[in-house]
Amino acid sequence: MRAGDRLLLYTDGLVEPQNASGESFGDRKLEEVIRKNQSRPPAELLEQMLSEIRAWQPASLPRRTLKARWPRPR
């Protein structure tokens, strides 16, 4: 990794929520959300991801998240 790079770690529970049609949120949709919001600060990106997943299927979202920051070398 280089300075400014981001690493997202998540469990399958993040992308498994299903909508009313039984379609999972999925890795591809998560990737779309990340690409559309990649210029946001990490905390805002996380909030946007969770917001879109909640909108997909509100009752299924796991409430445990972990945020990490990779500091720039001095």
Q: Does residue 42 fall inside a structural domain?
A: yes
Q: Does residue 48 fall inside a structural domain?
A: yes
Residues 56-73 pLDDT 10s: 886 655 555 556 666 777
Indicate the helix (H) or strand (E) that contains 50.
Answer: helix 42-56
Q: Does residue 28 fall inside a structural domain?
A: no
Q: Does residue 1 fall inside a structural domain?
A: no
Specify the number of domains making up the chain. 1
Q: Does residue 41 fall inside a structural domain?
A: yes
Residues 21-49 pLDDT 10s: 889 999 999 999 999 999 998 889 999 99
Q: What is the pTM of this model?
A: 0.70
Q: Does residue 58 fall inside a structural domain?
A: yes
Q: Does residue 69 fall inside a structural domain?
A: no
The domain of 52 spans 36-62
DSSP codes, 23-40: -B-HHHHHHHHHHHTTTS
Q: Does residue 12 fall inside a structural domain?
A: no
Amino acid identity for residue 18 in this structure: Q
